[in-house]
């Protein structure tokens, strides 16, 4: 029974994708005159979320506004119209992605219907209006850098398109809608569209040219000569082989990290208390005891890690507050305190990288964090640097022995009152070249 069901779903997936591919091919040749997203919606309503997104992407590329708007809904987490009020579940792998959401909403909002050849339906007009209404809310969620990424995706999509798409992009640059206002880029797009037979682009070109300086017009003319349409998305970014190599590297790093995490239980409670206090989360005394106040401080730290996560409910956030640090949370605690400039936490994090406690052994990171702690004249950090330069380190980016540097740090640790440094300095032997005389 189960086997038949799986075979049926697999067959449905192949059928739906096949229909979408064939339809998208036809639409590509007819200007997407009759495209709609109903096939994708049908797959969505049957729980075939990945199939639905794949189909909508095909229709969207072919010029269907409703599919563009649906993709915006998918990536923004909005309720899909006509889908019984359901949302795309996060476990499908389609998590909230504001860059993609802004991209598809923008493409839908600024899509130009070729009147007379592609008369928009009421549903298409409605989808366009709704997409435009959602743009401010999506932008409000995003950083300036992410908005710029989305705008680049939008402009690249229009530049890959038809002469009318170039004309539309020119209007967008001229008005500052969907992309940043830029008259030089607008004139460039108008010139490209005009050369490809778009009559309206000629009028727009003349109007804009009259408002621009000779320098701006010259720059636009040079851009026209140098212009090449952006490569298709499938040719941009890492190759499948590079992605597979990156995946394998991450798996190996995770295995090393899991092995390193097993040693985290040896961290003293005192160090945890000091790290929590440096973050303003622990109000008690440093007594090296895992008491009630320490547990409460740990709960505050655990909540701080998830408080801004919009994908978790309040109940899920409360469930994180166990009062017991996991190995990974212990590493995160010292990393957070170290980044806030707490010298002792910087020292602890450096030693963790030296020994592979909770993190992968890494000589460069060990030197970096120990060096930051030593700049605060923490004697034990100077002593640790002396040991590192005396004995070297295993693991990634190994540190080579350097007795001169070891002596400098041992001497500094001694001057700061660290007793063991004096003996380490005394035992450190320098090899002097023998005289030939």
Per residue in 67-88, pLDDT (tens digit) is 899 888 888 877 666 555 555 5
| Rounded percentage of the chain residues whose pLDDT exceeds 70 | 77
Question: Of the given ranges (132-136, 162-166, 231-235, 328-332), which has the lowest mean pLDDT?
Answer: 231-235
CA distances from 202 to 32, 114, 188, 297, 317 (A): 25, 17, 12, 67, 58
- Domain annotation covers residue 240: no
- Domain annotation covers residue 434: no
pLDDT of 5 reads 42
Q: Are residues 250 and 219 in the same domain?
A: no
Q: Are residues 152 and 198 in the same domain?
A: no
Q: Are residues 217 and 275 in the same domain?
A: no
Q: Are residues 170 and 112 in the same domain?
A: no
Q: Are residues 323 and 399 in the same domain?
A: yes
pLDDT of 406 reads 92
When pLDDT is cut at 50, 70 and 90, the band that residue 228 belongs to is confident
Q: Are residues 276 and 386 in the same domain?
A: yes
Pick from 160, 186, 221: which residue ends a domain?
160
Torsion of CA 169, 173, 175, 178, to 10 degrees: 70
Q: Are residues 142 and 275 in the same domain?
A: no
In the chain, the number of structural domains is 3
Q: Are residues 285 and 205 in the same domain?
A: no
Spatial CB neighbours of 15, under 8 Å, sequence gap ≥ 6: none
Q: Are residues 165 and 277 in the same domain?
A: no
Q: Are residues 154 and 173 in the same domain?
A: no
- Domain annotation covers residue 433: no
Give residue for tokens 């640059």. 173
When pLDDT is cut at 50, 70 and 90, the band that residue 382 belongs to is very high
pLDDT of 32 reads 40
Question: Of the given ranges (193-202, 212-221, 241-250, 316-325), which has the lowest mean pLDDT?
Answer: 241-250
Phi, psi of 396 (to 5 degrees): -70, 150
Q: What is the 3-state secondary structure (H, E, C) of 12-57?
A: HHHHHHHHHHHHHHHHHHHCCCCCCCHHHHHHHHCCCHHHHHHHHH
Which residue range is the domain that position 337 belongs to?
246-427
- Domain annotation covers residue 235: no
Sign for the pseudo-dihedral over CA of 38, 44, 50, 51: negative
Q: Are residues 180 and 278 in the same domain?
A: no
> Model-level pTM?
0.47
Q: Are residues 269 and 388 in the same domain?
A: yes
pLDDT tens, position by position, 12-26: 444 434 444 433 333
Pick from 126, 142, 160: which residue ends a domain?
160
């Amino acid at each position: 029974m189960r086997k038949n069901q799986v075979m049926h779903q697999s067959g449905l997936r192949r059928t739906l994708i096949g229909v979408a591919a064939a339809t998208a091919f036809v639409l590509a040749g007819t200007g997407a005159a009759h495209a709609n997203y109903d096939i994708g919606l049908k797959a969505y309503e049957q729980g075939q979320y990945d199939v639905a997104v794949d189909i909508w992407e095909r229709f969207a590329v072919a010029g269907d506004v409703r599919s563009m708007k649906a993709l915006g809904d998918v990536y923004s987490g909005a309720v899909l119209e006509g889908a019984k009020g359901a949302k795309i579940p996060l476990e499908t792998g389609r998590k909230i992605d504001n860059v993609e959401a802004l991209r598809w909403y923008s493409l839908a909002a600024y899509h130009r219907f070729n009147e007379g050849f592609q008369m928009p339906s009421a549903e298409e007009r409605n989808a366009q209006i709704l997409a435009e209404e959602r743009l401010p809310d999506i932008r409000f969620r995003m950083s300036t850098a992410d908005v710029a990424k989305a705008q680049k995706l939008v402009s690249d999509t229009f530049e890959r398109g038809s002469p009318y798409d170039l004309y539309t992009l020119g209007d967008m640059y001229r008005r500052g809608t969907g992309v940043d206002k830029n008259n030089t880029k607008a004139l460039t797009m108008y010139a490209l569209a005009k050369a490809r037979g778009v009559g309206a682009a000629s009028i727009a070109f003349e109007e804009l040219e009259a408002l621009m300086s000779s320098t701006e017009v010259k720059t636009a003319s040079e851009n026209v000569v140098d212009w090449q349409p952006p490569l298709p998305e499938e040719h941009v970014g890492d190759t499948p082989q590079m992605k597979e190599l990156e995946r394998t590297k991450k798996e190996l790093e995770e295995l090393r990290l899991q092995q390193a995490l097993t040693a985290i239980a040896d961290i003293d409670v005192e160090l945890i208390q000091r790290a929590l206090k440096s973050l303003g989360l622990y109000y008690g005394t440093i007594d090296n005891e895992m008491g009630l106040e320490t547990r409460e401080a740990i709960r505050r730290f655990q909540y701080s890690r998830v408080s801004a996560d919009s994908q978790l409910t309040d109940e899920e956030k409360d469930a994180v507050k166990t009062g017991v640090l996991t190995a990974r949370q212990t590493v995160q605690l010292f990393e957070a305190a170290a980044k806030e400039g707490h010298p002792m936490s910087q020292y602890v994090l450096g030693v963790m990288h030296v020994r592979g406690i909770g993190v992968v052994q890494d000589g460069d990171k060990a030197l970096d964090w120990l060096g930051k702690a030593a700049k605060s004249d923490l004697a034990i950090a100077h002593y640790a640097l002396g040991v590192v330069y005396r004995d070297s380190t295993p693991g990634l980016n190994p540190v080579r022995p350097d007795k001169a540097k070891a002596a400098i740090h041992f001497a500094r640790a001694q001057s700061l009152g660290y007793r063991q440094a004096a003996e380490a300095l005394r035992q450190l032997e320098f090899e002097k070249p023998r005289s030939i005389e």
